[in-house]
């Protein structure tokens, strides 16, 4: 929350999880924190253990004025490209906020067109509490979803690598083929599809 000419404006922090993986959606979060009820320990979600992220996500749910999630599905990522799909997920998260922010702070240097003033901040997830909170909420939500996908599509290791292009994941992709949640516009997935086609020629 910031004050301009004595008027307190709500600040929404926005960040995403899932730009780099080969599978699954990209999920964004928008969080408006309560200025008078700070949360200790907020940081870039990538620097925190899974257990710490879970605990902080509970505190954010309890203490934030509001928070929401937005997402772009695999089909949208393949159709739009990952950057534009990320912008779409962010717009959806902000549009779902029950309170209208006076300012939106977004991690990174790209921002979607929105109906509110927007400020982009490089490494904002490490320096702006509301963005850190959004980073945590998006990461926790996406990790939980990838664990569920692992049950539906076993053998890829989604619960371990969360869809990122680890050697284990790429080996499984080449061995098992492409699942419905793989991003077909991403290089390693295209290669796996090509290998599958070649096997039938």
Q: Is residue 174 included in any domain, yes or no?
A: no
Mean pLDDT (the chain) is: 93
Tell me if 94 is assigned to some domain.
yes
Domain count, the chain: 1
User: In this structure, what CATH number is given to the domain that contains residue 127?
Assistant: 3.30.420.10
Q: Domain range for residue 92?
A: 2-153
Give the total residue count for the chain: 201
pLDDT tens per residue, the chain (201 residues)?
454 444 578 999 999 999 999 999 999 999 999 988 999 999 999 999 999 999 999 999 999 999 999 999 999 999 999 999 999 999 999 999 999 999 999 999 999 999 999 999 999 999 999 999 999 999 999 999 999 999 999 999 999 999 999 999 999 999 999 999 999 999 999 999 988 765 444
Write down the pLDDT at residue 182. Answer: 98
Tell me whether residue 127 is in a domain.
yes
Cα four-point dihedral sign 155, 160, 162, 163: negative
Residue 197: the pLDDT is: 62
Domain membership flag for residue 183: no
d(CA 127, CA 140): 19
pLDDT digits (tens, 9 = 90+) for 15-31: 999 999 999 999 999 99
Exposure string of 159-192, with b = 16+ CB inside 10 Å and e = fewer, is eebbbbbeeebbebbeeeebbebbbeebebbeeb
In a domain, 83, yes or no: yes
31 falls within a domain: yes
Q: Own/partner pairs for 116-125, CB < 8 Å, 24+ apart? A: 116/12, 123/44, 124/13, 124/15, 125/15, 125/43, 125/44, 125/45, 125/46
End-to-end CA distance of the chain: 61
167 in any annotated domain = no
Model pLDDT for residues 124-158, shown as the tens digit of each residue: 999 999 999 999 999 999 999 999 999 999 999 99
118-121 and 103-107 strand pairing: parallel
User: Residue 60 domain-assigned?
Assistant: yes
């Amino acid at each position: 929350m910031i004050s301009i000419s004595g008027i307190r404006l709500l600040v929404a922090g926005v960040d995403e999880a899932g730009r780099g993986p080969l599978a699954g959606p990209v999920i964004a979060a928008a969080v408006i924190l309560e200025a008078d009820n700070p949360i200790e320990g907020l940081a870039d979600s990538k620097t925190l253990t899974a257990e710490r992220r879970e605990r902080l996500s509970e505190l954010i749910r309890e203490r934030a004025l509001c928070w929401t999630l937005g997402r772009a599905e695999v089909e949208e990522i393949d159709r739009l490209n990952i950057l534009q799909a990320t912008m779409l997920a962010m717009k959806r998260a902000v549009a779902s906020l029950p309170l209208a922010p006076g300012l939106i702070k977004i991690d990174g240097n790209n921002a979607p067109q929105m109906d509110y003033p927007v400020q982009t901040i490089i490494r904002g997830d490490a320096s702006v509490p509301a963005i850190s909170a959004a980073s945590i909420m998006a990461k926790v939500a996406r990790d939980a979803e990838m664990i569920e996908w692992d049950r539906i599509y076993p053998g890829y290791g989604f619960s371990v690598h969360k869809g990122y292009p680890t050697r284990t994941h790429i080996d499984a992709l080449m061995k098992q083929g492409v699942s419905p949640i793989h991003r077909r516009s991403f290089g390693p997935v295209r290669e796996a599809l090509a290998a599958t086609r070649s096997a039938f020629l």
